[in-house]
Chains A and B, each alone.
Chain A
Amino acid sequence: MTDLAQDLLSSFVVAEPQLNGSRNLGVVHLRKEALDRFETLGFPTTRDEEWKYTNLKPVLKHNYRILLKGDDAVSFADIKSYLLSDLDTYKLVFINGKYSSWLSDSTHQEFDVCTFAAALNKYPDIIAEYLGKAAPKGETFVDLNTAFADDGAFIRVKASQTVDKPIEILYLTTNENGPSFSQVRNLIIVEQNAEVQIVERHQNIGDQPSFTNFVSEVFAARDARVSYYKVQNDANEATLVDNTHVVQKETSNVHVGTYTFGGKLVRNNLHFYSAGTHAESHMDGITIIGNGQTVDHHTLVDHQEPNCYSRELYKGIYLGKSHGIFNGKVMVRQKAQKTNAFQQNDNILLSDKAKVDTKPQLEIFADDVRCSHGCTVGQLDRNALFYLRSRGIPKREAEGLMTYAFAADALEYVKIPQLEKRLNRVIAEKLGINLEFTL
């Protein structure tokens, strides 16, 4: 067992009585059980099949502080650049895992856009019904989070309501005093025929290593529509393990877009459980990383009911000595006839030192289904480059243009124009090009 795991186990005794929701016996029980499982499982190593290509050892070795304090010194000016400044949004801002009410803009009016901590106390019935029901027990990072997490975003949209503006969730880490390990948790409940758009971001604004173990549970009821965008452009010393689990009921439509441009190590465990007929699941993303960065997308679509559709499109651009991993599992259960599942992972290596491991994984137990998958790893086409240059476009711009064009179709489903613009700008910046237009 690693030192960090030991530290976590021993600090639980101190932490547990202070955690939000500690008066709720159900939650207390859930936490203790989860901690027991974590004690058995420990942190994964590269000997675990699911972690074969991603070595956590270098990021687990830091002497992380586990019980974090908020930071009142953070002002709006410090966080402004991490928010969509040109758009009116609800805002939930957390600093070192603690809710910052003065930086946030929450609501309890027609729908709840507030905190997990508040919900633990205010809505024991909802917590009992939903907490831990999407994220599976026995996944070590989920269990660890369940044991410790006591705040995060709580969103509940009641039947037939549409949240009138996007919700931004910002998790900040300020850690001048040493490495920090934070565990935050979302609970997102979108009831029948309701609609919501969420933009989420984790950001380390200190200069020390940070490790965020994050769980987000999303429940989309019948006919619910959810757009959930993850902007991952964290500092070079930041590690994020994002465990997002989405349960969908019939004819619901959920899109999760993951845009990864930064961080030392990012692991996305994104799982969709298609638990109602005619549900639509969209997941797509763009990854652009460079020297010393690792991004690992582990996705699962679990088709449990007939006539569902899933679409998965991940584009990766790797510069410098970077490492990309894609593992896309599509499970079609026996009952899930007429499933239509599409999966594609395309990668471009712009450096000899960049590396990609990509693996589609299909497990199909129904006989009347359409499942397609493909993955490519390549370089920029030399002929196309010459073609652009012969028209007067300099080499660097030509490469940028081609790379951008390669990535851009993974932005097709972004429904917030300001976010699309922002992503375009980040992509151009990462590729070192000046894009005068959007394609």
Chain B
Amino acid sequence: MIKINNLQARVEDKEILKGINLEINPGEIHAIMGPNGSGKSTLSNVIAGREDYEVTGGSIDFEGENLLDLDPEERAHKGIFLSFQYPVEIPGVTVSNFIKTAINESRKGRGQEPMEAREMLAKMREKTALLEMDKSYLSRSLNEGFSGGEKKRNEIFQMAMLEPKLAILDETDSGLDIDALRIVAGGVNKLRTADNAVMVITHYQRLLDYIKPDFVHVLYNGRIVKSGGPELAHELEEKGYDWIKAENA
């Protein structure tokens, strides 16, 4: 589905990604772990197309297309979704109008007709129920006055509505209490199919108890320095990141 090859990126003059290689296939869950400042969020933002990052080398191939040639909205139309670490508050735009606009713009981008109002409504009902969200969410201003947990849940709600091929969850566990974490992770699991994939970015093992990864990668200093199965996450949980740092000093 996505092939990242020797990806290098920087912000202003600071080199952050120094050659990332990663391949994710349909149906897989990959966890990207690593200490703070290792480049995890940069990787997710570069995939989603944030223009503050300058890609200086390498490539990202998404279903046979060079992702780096596309605007953020075009990437979304192709099926890339980024759940933000810090979702932005947009006063004056309600959740329901926002998601309607997002879905119909994405459909337009793919040459499809807008979704029928009735279908949209039914889908919103279904997905709010899935995430145990009160319907009053939908008429609130997007993220405005939302608690940390509500913001994250709202991100997964958008993911559920948009049904992306590749969902990138950037530190979705931060700010969640254990109950919210279970609901959010449960939602992600229920949305899994053989055709979509998830990239979970996290600092801690905790989320991975609920969203079980097929592969775990350790990102350090702009490179993937270790890859393995779920057991790698447990090892990191036990031993911390110091041994990784020592190995790569």
> Which of B48, B51, B75, B101 is A436 in contact with, Cβ under 8 Å?
B101
Asked if A393 is at the interface of the complex by the 8 Å CB criterion, the answer is yes
Cβ distance A106 to chain B, nearest Cβ, rounded Å: 39
A394 with B92: in contact, given A437-B100, A439-B97 (CB under 8 Å)?
A: no
Which residues of the partner chain A approach B50 to less than 8 Å between Cβ atoms?
386, 390
Among A384, A387, A404, A405, the one with the most B-chain Cβ atoms within 10 Å of its Cβ is A387
In A404-439, which residues have CB < 8 Å from any B CB?
404-406, 408-409, 436-437, 439
A392 with B76: in contact, given A405-B93, A437-B97 (CB under 8 Å)?
A: yes
Q: B92 touching A384 by the CB < 8 A rule?
A: no
CA distance A384 to B87 in the complex (A): 9
CA distance A383 to B88 in the complex (A): 7
| Chain A interface bracket (under 10, 10 to 19, 20 to 34, 35 or more) | 20 to 34
A397 with B88: in contact, given A390-B49, A390-B72 (CB under 8 Å)?
A: no
CA distance A106 to B185 in the complex (A): 66
CA distance A2 to B105 in the complex (A): 56
Q: A408 touching B92 by the CB < 8 A rule?
A: yes
Cβ distance B121 to chain A, nearest Cβ, rounded Å: 13
**Quick one: closest A residue to B114, CB to CB?**
A436
A395 with B71: in contact, given A381-B88, A390-B76, A437-B100 (CB under 8 Å)?
A: yes
Asked if A389 is at the interface of the complex by the 8 Å CB criterion, the answer is yes
In A356-395, which residues have CB < 8 Å from any B CB?
381-384, 386-395
In B79-107, which residues have CB < 8 Å from any A CB?
81-82, 84, 87-94, 97-98, 100-106
Q: B93 touching A401 by the CB < 8 A rule?
A: yes
Which residues of the partner chain B approach A408 to less than 8 Å between Cβ atoms?
92
Asked if A402 is at the interface of the complex by the 8 Å CB criterion, the answer is yes
| Chain B interface bracket (under 10, 10 to 19, 20 to 34, 35 or more) | 20 to 34
> Which of A386, A393, A409 is B102 in contact with, Cβ under 8 Å?
A393
Asked if B109 is at the interface of the complex by the 8 Å CB criterion, the answer is yes
Q: B92 touching A439 by the CB < 8 A rule?
A: yes
Q: What does the 1/0 interface line of A262-300 toward B look like (CB < 8 Å)?
A: 000000000000000000000000000000000000000
Cβ distance B157 to chain A, nearest Cβ, rounded Å: 12
Q: A392 touching B90 by the CB < 8 A rule?
A: no
CA distance A397 to B100 in the complex (A): 13
A391 with B162: in contact, given A386-B72, A397-B101 (CB under 8 Å)?
A: yes
Among A389, A394, A395, the one with the most B-chain Cβ atoms within 10 Å of its Cβ is A389
Asked if B77 is at the interface of the complex by the 8 Å CB criterion, the answer is yes
Which residues of the partner chain A approach B94 to less than 8 Å between Cβ atoms?
439
Asked if B128 is at the interface of the complex by the 8 Å CB criterion, the answer is no
**Quick one: closest B residue to A407, CB to CB?**
B92
> Which of B52, B89, B91, B158 is A391 in contact with, Cβ under 8 Å?
B158
Which residues of the partner chain B approach A406 to less than 8 Å between Cβ atoms?
92
CA distance A388 to B76 in the complex (A): 10
Q: A391-B102, A391-B158, A437-B100 are in contact. List 18 more A-B contacts (CB 8 A).
A: A381-B88, A387-B87, A389-B49, A389-B71, A389-B73, A389-B76, A390-B76, A390-B82, A391-B98, A392-B73, A392-B162, A394-B105, A394-B109, A404-B92, A408-B92, A436-B104, A439-B92, A439-B94
Q: List 20 A-B contacts (CB under 8 A).
A: A384-B89, A384-B90, A386-B72, A387-B84, A389-B71, A389-B72, A389-B76, A390-B76, A391-B76, A391-B106, A392-B73, A392-B106, A393-B102, A394-B71, A395-B71, A395-B73, A401-B93, A405-B90, A409-B91, A437-B101
